[in-house]
Structure 1
């Protein structure tokens, strides 16, 4: 029996190899050189020219010291890559041979055995080139010659009669953040940044699979599976969907075949916090005369996603309905995880998305100035129940709309829509990041002295790309009209009243406008898709900025170089003065800057969640970094959680109790983002001093069902604290369900952190096991900070008087340092 199974397996493998096979040319020996020089150096594919130059010790690591300045010459050079590979007589006997580049950055000419076979002009497109006629038996030479994207972009810009801001980046279809951002370095690179394949096929091949979820009920899901097949030979073929045979007839050339498929008793894909993100494997096999020709597989989730915009008395709603139920979106914005994307490992994608899941997020926005992410990113989102708001890669500038640009964009959209549309996590396609706002709000027309005709041309070009080319391409290449398209994020620019009453909002009155954090309580939009505040990275990541011994000094050039916002340090310090005592010690300053960032985002998130269902989404800026830097991220470049991410884990809980102070009155709101109401919930609170002495205890007699957003009660601050000093008291608030179970808990302080009269806590750490500790205190320990080279399950937390907390570690530590807010005030 086993021999028969083995023989069958080997026979099928032989048939597959006979009909369709591929070779990964990325693993061949590659070399590269400056086009001006003759000296070839070793290269890696996938890769970038900067990584190759570093490996050959031509340039220093631009992430270290102030080295970014030393490598700017690279962007102005042309670069050539080359490899040699052998082709056998058997391989050349295949009917068809395709050379496939999954990603070339950006302007290149491809030569095979000295013949120009393709030119490229888009980092985000896939290039498939029939090459059988150019190959020879034996050794073949493949060359890719890259032109400087900066110089080419400048040449394209000269053809436009007025100045387009951010030139030349607006003219090149490559990752816009490479040109520098207020959180990232300028590293305009080039290279073969994705795999290179040589594919052999005969008779026919599966080109693309598109799966439409036509109807979904509890009993069954009806799918339409579209298979695009290229056939060399017309005739009768078979397509198997999970081993179910469908007989089809193909004509020579391209064919699109529709095959209905039913899933009975489906388990729906649910977003994080609602249940399991169930996934199904769909295996598609192409056969002829019972011989296997080609196969593909897709992993899908069965779900519905709708964007609901309905007029109401306050404007127009903006929220996502998932599987027929309104979902409050809690999440973040994603930028590329590295300035050099090819070296981003799959494990880092998985970890960052799992960190989102652990912080109770259910949505992530892929920002439009980066890249369409690696398949591993979307796979991780599928598996962890994180919906994806996907921007197209246009950000913060004006873009041309000549015929070549239009066609280039259409084909870019085609490649990305066909690659990504089957992912369960994909919720929305968005045309761009902040371009509508840039045209209306940023004053470029005045700065560059536009004529009326110039300004009209900008709007005409904008409408052409984002209201015609992109949505028409989605409709053309996607499987159904259920693909959601949103032209620009935000839909209405910051500062316009309508930005708070409809659409999505990027509110930057905090940070850019330097308004106090408390303004978040007033500026609550329907859906907050961007807002944020900077904080320093962890000490470990700060030290990684140095090639040698770290000099942790604010006057150090390396520290200054790793803050890309021109007024970043000044803005942080201005905000810090409002809420905290400013430490002179670098380590303590680092700690306070993280607390400051977490405090600001907590105020914003709580304001948004209290406004549910008026507000139905809060996506802070930003999750991650592309290098070691002072930025808006909650997780730094090395993957360490900043204070903000620990706070997000608390603030994004499905059930929370939130306290709002208004005119001397505290209002208590219970929020439940879960699918089911929680019955018979009661509110209780205690006023205690920092030593743990009770001032007042109260329990609400009223029991309520916690569903959506419930205002539980109100209380006067003067009645709560009486003659007590508000700088020495805090409020502990608890929601309890049946059997006294704690549903949610929070602490509320009556004064800003800098005004609190904190007693000195005696913090003790007891080792329970190599990876578990217990932290305890005698009096209130505010913002307890555990320092050590490990990940702590909780950190930057308040520890109540005479209380203890168990913390798990990802790896054992011999020594753990600890401090609290008291240490920065004395």
Structure 2
């Protein structure tokens, strides 16, 4: 086979109808090329998003030339292969129209024998305006998207969040966003390779391989070899009359999600071989992790379970929702994905959900999930509103689904195919229309599951998230079956403790917004533009009531901040608190609830959002908290009676009863010790106790009920806090503190932080700190650098030394670190 890689060809682009040609990069998009050439301002800076809307309303053309050698014309097949074009385009080779595109998510293959010339060829791709195409077909589609200010973006099979979302800008781009090449070949080649696993008794695993071949297949055979650690462990050959191969591994090394075991990957190499000459005509390589994955939906005492099991072992899911890593996804590199996915694993996550308003991710993304042990809940790309269901649209979706399922079905990380995001929940009224209901069911209850049965055959399918197994979107039903998106906290401004009212089987969305750190804010906002109600910050807050809701929740728990930095800090520790309350509750009630996916892991641009990792890679307080509340061994405290505000704005303290739970996820049981101490803010221990515990996987365990009523009456609820922890083999593996009144009512002392620093490795500085007083949620920050701390937003107790490591993004000496280091605890946010 001959291949002409057009990514290496000299591309140029211009706005159709005139103008000068400018250099372009392929894969890429119009916005990136315009920015690279200085023709637009950075859309992420200030309010520049509003100034570049003309780009998506315009038509663009991309042109390149390449040489076709004489030898390729002897091949039986000459094709142009475009892995992805965004989105509405006309493709010409030497002014011959090859075809038109209208689906961003499919691979296009055109026969070019009649258009290709010997010598120099000219390829031209005209990218028509998606917005103009929507206007052209808009009257034929009734439902309108609430996230799209123009409306009806759903008529195009295009990344939906390009049109704006409540965390992302409206930047409707276009481009050749995935590789493009000319292929010349003869004989036969792989069209796809379906891999299924059969796990037998003992340690044996058989891979059933079902290759689909294109071309002339009568005189070829398929040869398959399976390698592990560089050693051949199985091989097989299938002739032209055989459609399946079987490779058996006698002593299989199983693949496990992060936190449950290792992630060994076998190398599968398949070749199409000419039987007469022995020539290898095509080669296909895959990496395969040997495992079984089930979605167990079984009757139980609470209704029906919603539980993932890997290799027969039920797994409590700990993770977050994934959105596109950039507003312009073309050109994202492996390292762009690795930063955030590795951060997820460092926070003890074992799953990410690829949300349905973005894209089917790149091979780099799924490679990393395979390597890191991150299960993938994979949405099809439908979100929040109803879609057309005419014959042409369904045909396009079927082609998309077939290609994507065939591309991804072998992945060890793939845990679930999900039809859509929130369509039944947000369109209850529209779905009462018989035509709309029939169209919805045709797509999500027939077409997609049929494609999965044909092209995958193993991975479970779930029609929507959220979904209860029926068109019932009530929270009460969510306590019985299915998965739930719980947004009463935030959108309905319910108290944070509302999470604890509900015992969902699986909570796949919930969240709380916060502001980005000063380091990230400086990438989009001038020093004098940080007022949250000013034009720049409002432009980078896409939820209509977002700023008011953040302030509302802050006011319930904390004092008014003294400055902008204090406001950012309070928004982040508030977000961390909300996520902690939710996740610890859902973990405590396991196995009734068997998973949490908070909204959201990452950002696509610098913004106020629900993310725990900022666009620059900085961990918010919530991500440091996630590493604690997702820890394999967790101690969790619950106040039996919360503090409350009564008529007249009087404060009624919480009761003194506290429940201490443990939750344990690791496979091997261990013994540990619970410790608790009621402390004065000055550091004096007032009451203390211990309990030996045995930890094993299987659910939350109430280990101890404590009663501090007398101590609170004696010392005052606003002058004490409870410190509690879990030790295993003498090491504190989980620890936190609890107040008996809202933190704004606690009389926190202000104290001096003593700091020392030393170099411990290249690019790593250890910072040691201590204080004579209790410092709640101490935050460390290195201005102008997206540095990573080994821990942050933690409690520092009187007289104890804490050591944290700083992984620098740019070289600094320990002396320079101490000179630049900024720190803030809760009391510093208002005093």
TM range, normalised to the smaller chain?
Answer: over 0.9
After superposition, give the CA deviation of every residue in 1:251-280 in whole Å (9 maximum; x if it has no partner): 8xxxx8311001121111011111111111
Q: How does 1:205-354 map to 2 (within 5 A)?
A: 205-232=189-216, 234-242=218-226, 246-250=236-240, 257-288=243-274, 289-354=277-342
SS at match of 2:689: strand
Does 2:707 align with 1:726?
Answer: no
Structure 1 residues 238, 573: closer, same or farther in 2, change over 3 A?
closer
TM-score using structure 1 length? 0.92
Q: 1:821 aligns with which of 815, 821, 826?
A: 826
Q: CA deviation at 1:706?
A: 4.0
Structure 1 residues 626, 617: closer, same or farther in 2, change over 3 A?
same
Contact 2:562/2:829 (<8 A) preserved: no
Does 2:432 align with 1:469?
Answer: no
Q: How does 1:563-578 map to 2 (within 5 A)?
A: 563-578=541-556
Whole-angstrom CA distance in 2 between matches of 1:748 and 1:247: 64
Whole-angstrom CA distance in 1 between matches of 2:210 and 2:52: 48
SS at match of 1:771: strand
Q: 1:677 aligns with which of 654, 669, 675?
A: 669
Whole-angstrom CA distance in 1 between matches of 2:740 and 2:238: 73
Q: CA deviation at 1:345?
A: 2.1
Q: 2:792 aligns with which of 795, 805, 810?
A: 795
Q: How does 1:377-396 map to 2 (within 5 A)?
A: 377-396=365-384
Contact 2:479/2:505 (<8 A) preserved: yes
Q: CA deviation at 1:30?
A: 1.1
Match of 2:229 in 1: none
Structure 1 residues 230, 572: closer, same or farther in 2, change over 3 A?
same
Structure 1 residues 550, 213: closer, same or farther in 2, change over 3 A?
farther
Match of 1:188 in 2: 172
Q: CA deviation at 1:199?
A: 1.6
Q: How does 1:559-708 map to 2 (within 5 A)?
A: 559-663=537-641, 664=655, 665-679=657-671, 681-700=672-691, 703-708=693-698
Q: 1:174 aligns with which of 150, 153, 158?
A: 158
Does 2:40 align with 1:50?
Answer: no
Whole-angstrom CA distance in 1 between matches of 2:437 and 2:562: 50
SS at match of 2:381: coil
Contact 1:303/1:322 (<8 A) preserved: yes
After superposition, give the CA deviation of every residue in 1:651-700 in whole Å (9 maximum; x if it has no partner): 00001011111133211111011112224x44331111122111011223
After superposition, give the CA deviation of every residue in 1:796-824 in whole Å (9 maximum; x if it has no partner): 11011111211111125412111211112
Match of 1:717 in 2: 708
Q: CA deviation at 1:626?
A: 0.5
Whole-angstrom CA distance in 2 between matches of 1:698 and 1:549: 50
SS at match of 1:105: coil
Whole-angstrom CA distance in 1 between matches of 2:222 and 2:58: 51
Structure 1 residues 619, 160: closer, same or farther in 2, change over 3 A?
closer
Whole-angstrom CA distance in 2 between matches of 1:161 and 1:595: 43
Match of 1:14 in 2: none
Q: CA deviation at 1:531?
A: 0.2
Contact 1:333/1:621 (<8 A) preserved: yes
Match of 1:748 in 2: 738
After superposition, give the CA deviation of every residue in 1:696-750 in whole Å (9 maximum; x if it has no partner): 11223x654544322111012304545111212111223344x545453332222
SS at match of 2:140: coil
SS at match of 2:427: helix
Unaligned runs of 5+ in 2: 227-231, 642-654
Match of 1:771 in 2: 765
Contact 1:278/1:301 (<8 A) preserved: yes
Whole-angstrom CA distance in 2 between matches of 1:633 and 1:462: 31
Match of 1:505 in 2: 484
Contact 1:494/1:508 (<8 A) preserved: no
Whole-angstrom CA distance in 2 between matches of 1:162 and 1:572: 31
Contact 2:628/2:734 (<8 A) preserved: no
Structure 1 residues 372, 161: closer, same or farther in 2, change over 3 A?
closer
Contact 1:104/1:123 (<8 A) preserved: yes
Contact 1:392/1:431 (<8 A) preserved: yes
Q: CA deviation at 1:570?
A: 0.7
Match of 2:112 in 1: 131
Whole-angstrom CA distance in 2 between matches of 1:677 and 1:420: 35
Match of 2:400 in 1: 412
Whole-angstrom CA distance in 2 between matches of 1:28 and 1:379: 27
Contact 2:167/2:607 (<8 A) preserved: yes
Whole-angstrom CA distance in 2 between matches of 1:607 and 1:470: 34
Structure 1 residues 265, 236: closer, same or farther in 2, change over 3 A?
same
Does 2:463 align with 1:487?
Answer: yes
Structure 1 residues 584, 690: closer, same or farther in 2, change over 3 A?
closer
Structure 1 residues 438, 551: closer, same or farther in 2, change over 3 A?
closer
Does 2:406 align with 1:401?
Answer: no
Does 2:790 align with 1:806?
Answer: no
Whole-angstrom CA distance in 2 between matches of 1:164 and 1:749: 43
Q: CA deviation at 1:236?
A: 4.2
Whole-angstrom CA distance in 1 between matches of 2:599 and 2:290: 29
Structure 1 residues 77, 184: closer, same or farther in 2, change over 3 A?
same
Contact 1:231/1:250 (<8 A) preserved: no
Structure 1 residues 670, 417: closer, same or farther in 2, change over 3 A?
same
Structure 1 residues 779, 315: closer, same or farther in 2, change over 3 A?
same
Contact 1:213/1:222 (<8 A) preserved: yes
Match of 1:10 in 2: none
Unaligned runs of 5+ in 1: 1-19, 446-451
Cα RMSD between the aligned structures? 1.9
Structure 1 residues 247, 313: closer, same or farther in 2, change over 3 A?
closer
Contact 1:502/1:526 (<8 A) preserved: yes
Match of 2:647 in 1: none
Whole-angstrom CA distance in 2 between matches of 1:64 and 1:371: 24
Q: CA deviation at 1:560?
A: 1.6
Contact 2:177/2:331 (<8 A) preserved: no
SS at match of 1:639: coil
Match of 1:785 in 2: 779
Q: CA deviation at 1:200?
A: 2.1
Structure 1 residues 599, 292: closer, same or farther in 2, change over 3 A?
same
Match of 1:15 in 2: none
After superposition, give the CA deviation of every residue in 1:129-177 in whole Å (9 maximum; x if it has no partner): 2223321111101111122112212322222467676532110000000
Contact 1:687/1:721 (<8 A) preserved: no
SS at match of 1:133: coil
SS at match of 1:564: coil
Structure 1 residues 147, 647: closer, same or farther in 2, change over 3 A?
same
Moved more, 582-591 or 379-388: 582-591
Q: CA deviation at 1:343?
A: 3.1
Q: 2:353 aligns with which of 360, 365, 373?
A: 365
Contact 2:143/2:152 (<8 A) preserved: no
Q: 2:182 aligns with which of 186, 198, 202?
A: 198
Q: CA deviation at 1:53?
A: 2.0
Whole-angstrom CA distance in 2 between matches of 1:821 and 1:245: 62
SS at match of 1:525: coil
